[in-house]
Amino acid sequence: MALAAAAPLAAQGQGPKPLKISIFSKHLQFLDVAGMAVAAKEAGADGIDFAVRKGAHILPERVKEELPGAVDTLRKAGLEVPMLTTAIVDATTPHAETILRTAASLGIRHYRWGDMRYNAVQPIPEQLEAMKPRVKALADLNRELGMCGMYHTHSGQNEVGASIWDLWLLFKDHDPKYISANLDVAHATVEGGLGGWLHSTRLILPYTRGTAIKDFVWAKNAKGGWAPQWCPLGEGMVDWPRYCSMLKAARFDGPVQMHYEYPLGGADHGNRQITVDRATVITAMRKDIEKLRGWFKEASL
pLDDT for 17:
85
pLDDT for 170:
98
Q: How far is CA 287 from CA 7, 229, 231, 260, 277, in A?
A: 36, 19, 12, 11, 16
pLDDT for 89:
98
pTM of the predicted model over 0.85: yes
Count the neighbouring beta carbons within 10 Å of the beta carbon of residue 173: 11
Count the neighbouring beta carbons within 10 Å of the beta carbon of residue 286: 14
Maximal C-alpha separation, the chain: 73
pLDDT for 21:
98
| Mean pLDDT split into 10-residue runs, the chain, 301 residues | 39 68 98 98 98 97 98 98 98 98 98 96 97 98 98 96 97 97 97 92 97 96 92 97 97 97 98 97 98 97 96
pLDDT for 19:
97
